[in-house]
A and B are shown apart, each in its own frame.
Chain A
Amino acid sequence: MSAADAGSPNRAPPPPAHTPLGHLRATAALIAVLLLGTGVVYPLVVTGLAELVDPSAANGSLLYYPNGTVAGSGLVAQNTDAPYLFWERPSLTDYVTTLGIGTDPGPTDPALLALLNETIAYLRLDGNLSANTTLPLWWIAPSASSTDPDLVVPAVTVQIPRIAAAVNNSTVQGNCQRAFGTNVLVTCLLDLVNAHITNPPIPDLGVPYVDVLPLDLDLLPIIAR
């Protein structure tokens, strides 16, 4: 026990206070030590061990095409607004990550209602959804990060009829091929969606959702794109 319990009878006279030059030296040395320890050694050691803990996560949860090209990250939404794909949540930055984040309108801002109505109109027209289809609020609301990769399950399943209509039946692969008069493709897409649902790992911790990009990548072989 040193400084904390100072006051023992035999203690030596206290060392002199730091001079301004002493403070300067201590400051400079401290910054140098911290830069080395916390700016270089710390991230490097964590990086090295991260490769052992979870290499995929450590490298950004990247997803690849069959030919090895990077398609994107399972943690970053991208523009998937094609008729034959599942769409993501809307992005105020159009999924351009270098723009940072878009700012959502405040709760009482008239611009908020206008923005959401614009999204609804877009989803109904370009997304081929009739006026009596109920849209989940989570699908029309812009996210916090502008790249939220996840979508609530009803917002995914509501897109299935559009995809089934957009896909040319003759190219559909395997047992998902639409049989004459029955809708095997819709059932098949529903199965695919169900296989991609992430349920809350602990009950009540959030709602079930689907990470859209892995779903779309698994959709590609089925629709032969």
Chain B
Amino acid sequence: MMDLAPFWDVIVLIALVLCLAPWFGAYLGKIYLNRPTTGDTILIPIESAIYRLLGTSPQKSMRAREYLFAVLWVNGGVLVFLFLFFLFQNGLPLDATGAPGMRWDLAFHSAASFTTNTDFTHFTNESQLSLGALVFAWPLALFASAATGLAVVAAMIRGLVRKDGTLGNFYVDLVRSVTRLLLPLSFVFALILVALGVPETLRNVVIAHPLTGGTQTIELGPVASFTSISLFGTNGGGFYSANAASPLANPSAVSDLFETFVMMLIPFSTPFAFGQIVRKRGEAWPFLGTILIVFLIAFGVFVAAQAVANPALAGLSGVGASTNGYPVGQETRFGLADGSLFQVVSVYSNVGANNMQIGALSPVGQLVLMFGMFTQSTPGGEGTGFGTLLLFAILGIFVGGLMVGRTPEYLGKKIGTGQVKWAALALLAHPAAVLIPTVVAVAGGFVTVSSGTLPASAHTFTSVLYEFTSESANNGSALAAANFNDTTPFFNIAGGIVMLVGRYVPILAMLAVAGMFSEQGFLPPGPGTLKTASATFTIYITLFLIVVTTLLFLPVIALGPLSQIVGGV
């Protein structure tokens, strides 16, 4: 049934990313090894000035506890700043749109959402966000949250190659992430987006006079620069509430492919940065292999599910056939293959942007996207996705070691009970942060649909499950709000807490594990040492990840998406 011809452009794109990944990953590695790179002559004086302003220096290397404090200080600062800005946005500069200040629970949800790299929105950008909040306050979090994720994983990887107990300087890592990666490349990508048709202007609104009379408000602004960092930083927030489905943010199939490339670049290169920092390039391949196996299977299943006509529409008469079985909630200008690639990349990289309405996808497609948020690591969000994969690997090596009676060790570091406890905690925090609030919301009667009652529909259950999964994974994609009302205080507060838990518990675990590794010396490799740069290890970790993830989430999958697929309700 499936003809590969329409897929060659996405195959070329994936191949391009994979060709660039070793080189780009090596560049990422240099950033976090503080090695000389191009642009040093301009950047070093700027960075030194910023370090002086911050009262820190690259010579200060932090132990795990101090690194964690620095993460929490900066992220807490961003959270408080955004919360206050949203609360009082109607009195702050650039409030021309007349959006009122947010209610405190909505301000909390939004601030938590942007600080944690989630960018799940419970508001309509066009009417509930002031221009200042959109173009001035939110971008702060777009950069800071992406840089935080990268810094944390850099510290985590350093733990594997150091023995002095330090992990680097968080402030330096964050600044270098911005000056050498996020800002310059977002700048280039933004200009390419303009060339592809995305607006970038100081005008915030144009009143048009449509052909059939009346007026139409066309919202404009720095769309290209916003979209660029939002995708590159795996944030996923949209300038428009239609996100990347908005023709202004994503005007053609070419821009769609380009935006997909922007989202893939860092997450698919991070394994090579890891290889560079641990000075064993070969160790990158098992992780890239795991990511690719899960990602490519997911994409294949997603496209196959979308290509089959929706059986629920069999009753329509006088309607032509379509190559896309689910054109409802899709945009005309995207093809099936490139449109689907954007959506799967976006959710699997925890960007969470959407170029289609996820709630209108085939039930199998929705399940595929959810699985990506369950694993959070194939490839997952900026930095933290790879960190999660490392935690899976640590747990997998430990379990594997128990099975064959080997001393569990990785890259010459012994995996002790402490590391395993922290890794298990991080991997269990995710299902806990998803399942507990889902049960409370459904059983506690907090789910209201427009008619005011909870219909016993699997789709509504799926929507609630998707909401908390997206928030805990710091993804930000949504099944769409009208299936139930998620703008109530309950969903704002619970959602905000879930996002904070889903972000900072794994970060705590990553730094704790790294701290323990960094205190240890190196074991010389012996005959019993597991060869981790091998195909066997790749397959083992892939299966371990799939089995663990599936077991954790199977009961709720059965209640929601599976019963939709089987029962069609």
Question: In the bound complex, what is the Cα–Cα distance between A89 and B328 (angstroms)?
Answer: 11
Which residues on A sit within 8 Å (CB–CB) of B5? 204
**Residue-wise interface mask of A (196-225) relative to B, using a CB-CB cutoff of 8 A (1 in contact, 0 not):** 001011101111010001001100100000
Residue of A nearest to B568 (CB): A108
| Residue among B194, B252, B322 with most chain A CB within 10 A | B194
Most buried by B among A7, A33, A217: A33
Evaluate contact between A107 and B310: CB separation under 8 angstroms. yes
Assess whether A15 is interfacial by the CB under 8 Å rule. yes
Cβ of A166 within 8 Å of any chain B Cβ, yes or no, is no
Q: What distance in Å separates the Cβ of A208 from its nearest Cβ neighbour in chain B?
A: 10
In the complex, what residues of A have CB within 8 A of residue B33's CB?
1, 4-5
B241: which A residues are within 8 A, CB to CB?
100-101
Bound CA–CA A149/B222 (angstroms): 21
Chain A to chain B contacts (Cβ below 8 Å), 27 pairs: A1-B34, A3-B59, A7-B163, A12-B59, A25-B54, A27-B76, A29-B50, A30-B74, A43-B226, A50-B194, A53-B191, A58-B224, A71-B211, A75-B247, A81-B212, A82-B212, A99-B127, A100-B125, A100-B241, A106-B359, A113-B315, A135-B319, A144-B356, A150-B332, A204-B6, A204-B7, A206-B339
Q: Are A14 and B60 in contact (CB under 8 A)?
A: yes
A34 within 8 Å of B (CB atoms): yes
A125 shortest CB reach to chain B, Å? 13
- Assembly CA distance A202 to B117 (angstroms): 34
Total contacts A-B at CB 8 Å: 403
Q: Is the CB of A205 within 8 A of B9?
A: yes
Enumerate chain B residues within 8 angstroms of A104, measured Cβ to Cβ: 328-329, 357, 359-360, 480
Select B200's contact among A58, A75, A134, A205, beta carbons within 8 Å. A58
Indicate whether B136 reaches chain A with its CB closer than 8 angstroms. Answer: yes
Does A177 lie at the interface of the complex (its beta carbon under 8 Å from any beta carbon of B)? no
**Across-interface contacts of A131 in B (CB, < 8 A):** 318
Kindly identify which residue among A18, A142, A206 contacts B335, using a CB–CB cutoff of 8 Å. A206
Given A6-B61, A200-B253, A206-B333, residue A82 in contact with residue B211 (CB < 8 A): yes
Count of A interface residues, CB-CB < 8 Å: 113
Q: Pick the most buried of A1, A65, A141: most chain B CB atoms within 10 A of its CB.
A: A141
Contact A144 B245 (CB under 8 A): yes
Q: Does B412 contact A (CB under 8 A)?
A: no
Residues of A within 8 A of B360 (CB): 104-107, 144
A48 CB to closest chain B CB (Å) equals 9
Q: What's the minimum C-beta distance from B152 to chain A, rounded to whole angstroms?
A: 16
B69, B166, B481: which contacts A103 (Cβ < 8 A)? Answer: B481
Instruction: Tell me if A112 and B178 are in contact (CB < 8 A).
Output: no
Complex contact A109–B140 (CB within 8 A): no
Q: Judge whether A29 and B53 touch: CB under 8 Å.
A: yes
Contacts of B169 in A (CB 8 A): 3
Task: Find A79's partner among B81, B191, B212, B254 (CB 8 Å cutoff).
Answer: B212
CB distance from A150 to the nearest CB of B (A): 4
List the one stretch of B213-221, B416-424, B547-555 in contact with chain A: B213-221
Of A28, A142, A206, A209, which contacts B328 at CB under 8 A? A142
Q: Is the CB of B248 within 8 A of A38?
A: no
Residues of A within 8 A of B113 (CB): none
- The reply on A127 being an interface residue by CB < 8 A is no
CB neighbours (8 Å) of A57 from chain B are 194-199, 251
| B171 adjacent to chain A (CB < 8 Å) | yes
Kindly list chain B residues whose C-beta atoms are within 8 Å of the C-beta of A39.
Answer: 135-137, 139-140
A202 touching B81, Cβ below 8 Å = no
B354 sits at the interface (CB 8 A) = yes
Q: Is A46 interfacial (CB 8 A cutoff)?
A: yes
Task: Report the Cα distance A205→B430, complex, angstroms.
Answer: 37
A134–B320 contact, CB under 8 A? Answer: yes
Q: B-side interface residues toward A, CB under 8 Å?
A: 5-9, 32-35, 50, 53-63, 66, 69-70, 73-74, 76-78, 81, 124-127, 135-137, 139-140, 142-144, 158, 162-164, 166, 168-169, 171-172, 174-175, 178, 183, 186-187, 190-191, 194-203, 206-212, 214, 216-220, 222, 224-226, 229, 240-242, 245-248, 251-254, 257, 310, 312-313, 315-316, 318-323, 326-335, 337-339, 354-357, 359-363, 459, 480-483, 564, 568-569
Interface of chain A residues 31 through 71 with chain B (CB within 8 A): 31, 33-35, 37-40, 42-43, 45-47, 49-50, 53-54, 57-62, 65, 69-71
A138 adjacent to B327 (CB under 8 Å): yes
Q: A2-B59, A46-B187, A109-B459 are in contact. Are A144 and B335 (CB under 8 A)?
A: no
Task: Decide: B9 and A202 in contact? CB cutoff 8 A.
Answer: yes
Partner of A144 from B56, B143, B355 at Cβ < 8 Å? B355
Tell me the bound Cα distance from A106 to B211 in angstroms.
Answer: 32
Contacts of A38 in B (CB 8 A): 139-140, 142-143, 178, 183, 229
Min C-beta distance of B61 to chain A, whole Å: 4
The answer on a CB contact under 8 Å between A136 and B320 is yes
Q: Is A159 an interface residue (CB 8 A)?
A: no
Q: A18-B62, A40-B136, A96-B217 are in contact. List 15 more A-B contacts (CB 8 A).
A: A1-B35, A26-B74, A46-B222, A61-B197, A78-B216, A80-B210, A95-B210, A99-B127, A101-B241, A101-B245, A103-B482, A105-B328, A113-B315, A145-B245, A150-B333
Of the candidates A28, A82, A142, A145, the one having the most CB atoms from chain B within 10 angstroms of its own CB is A145
A26 contacts B320, C-beta separation under 8 Å: no
Give A17 to B170 CA distance when docked, in angstroms: 12
B60, A18: Cβ atoms under 8 Å? yes
Residues of A within 8 A of B216 (CB): 72, 76, 78, 95-97
Shortest distance from the beta carbon of A141 to any chain B beta carbon, whole Å? 4
Asked whether A200 lies within 8 Å of B247 as measured between CB atoms, the reply is: no
Q: Cβ of B357: which chain A residues have Cβ within 8 Å of it? A: 101, 103-104, 144
